[in-house]
Structure 1
């Protein structure tokens, strides 16, 4: 009987180890995919640095904020985003500041019900966005706006 329990315990340990190893491999692939996706999205985004801001413009030579994020995702990953910053917020998967990843969207407004600006997080507290100075990289923290949320774009 003691042999049976020893074999059972060894089998359970082996099975549990395989589960954890498979989970780690799966998580590494998800992380690698996210990095690859960000590289594609960021390549398109930074190619538009300096493009002028025009209200209502969706590219390829001029943008408004949501026109820019929509253009970038469409032309990098083939993902179509809703047209306005508010609609992009509504359609995104919400993430906390602590879980913010490169490529996630940064939403600015009076509240989550009155979003008027969107940019794409690029790491180190910065985003790339289209605003009155054109397409620029800038801090997500600025005294003249209020970050009201972050969203992940599902592809």
Structure 2
């Protein structure tokens, strides 16, 4: 086999089987985007949506980087981690694998702003985003960077896996209905 093709193939296979940030962040916390203590979360869906849209405006177009956690590059679970920390005041696990165990399962038909939405994009590859409203998901796409996509769109529609709801007051368990 041509050795010029071997290295890119190995890198691609390693990234494809690792999933969206199954590796811990290699940047020091101070290299991540600046965070302040968010204002207390008002109850209600509108406030959640506003905070997610605010995060989108701040990060829109930031390129995807596996393991990234800063403005130079970020992955899907890193974006979820930072959004929950900076906008909602909740400390989530860093990896997609651990985020998929946070909170409690919620049916797709009952999605609300702030719910974590997970996709199976390959044999062992998982992807995560944050549900906003009207089938819109805020996430870090490997092809488009930080963006908002349609949950039922051309690419994502058949890759949906599960959704989780995290209590925004404790970071665990279900949010009151």
Instruction: State if a TM-score over 0.5 links the two structures.
Output: yes
Q: Match of 2:147?
A: 136
1:151 aligns with 2:164: yes
Give, in angstroms, the shift of residue 142 of structure 1.
Answer: 4.3
Q: Tell whether 2:132 aligns with 1:122.
A: yes
Q: Which portions of structure 1, spanning 4 or more consecutive aligned residues, are displaced by more than 4 angstroms?
A: 142-145
Q: Which runs of 5+ in 1 are unaligned?
A: 1-30
For 1:107, the equivalent position in structure 2 comes to 118
Whose helix fraction is larger, Structure 1's or Structure 2's? 1
Aligned mates of 2:73, 2:110 — CA distance in 1:
31
Answer with 1 or 2: which has the greater Rg: 1
Alpha-carbon distance between aligned partners in 2 of 1:122 and 1:99, rounded to the nearest angstrom: 12
Structure 2 distance, partners of 1:63, 1:99, is 28
CA–CA separation in structure 1 for the residues paired with 2:136 and 2:62: 18
Task: Tell me the CA shift for residue 65 of structure 1.
Answer: 0.3
Conserved in 1, the CA contact under 8 Å of 2:117 and 2:164?
A: yes
Distance 1:38 1:107 in 2: 18
Q: What's the CA shift string for 1:100-139, capped at 9, x where partnerless?
A: 001111101179xx56100111111111110112001111
> Which string of whole-angstrom CA distances, capped at 9 and with x for unpartnered residues, describes residues 84-104 of structure 1?
112101112211012100111
1:35-60 deviation digits (Å, cap 9, x = unpaired) = 32342243223321111111101224
Taking only aligned residues, the RMSD between alpha carbons, in angstroms, comes to 2.4
When normalised by structure 1's length, the TM-score is: 0.69
Aligned twin of 1:39: 50
Where structure 2 has 5 or more consecutive residues not aligned to the other structure, the ranges are 1-41, 169-177
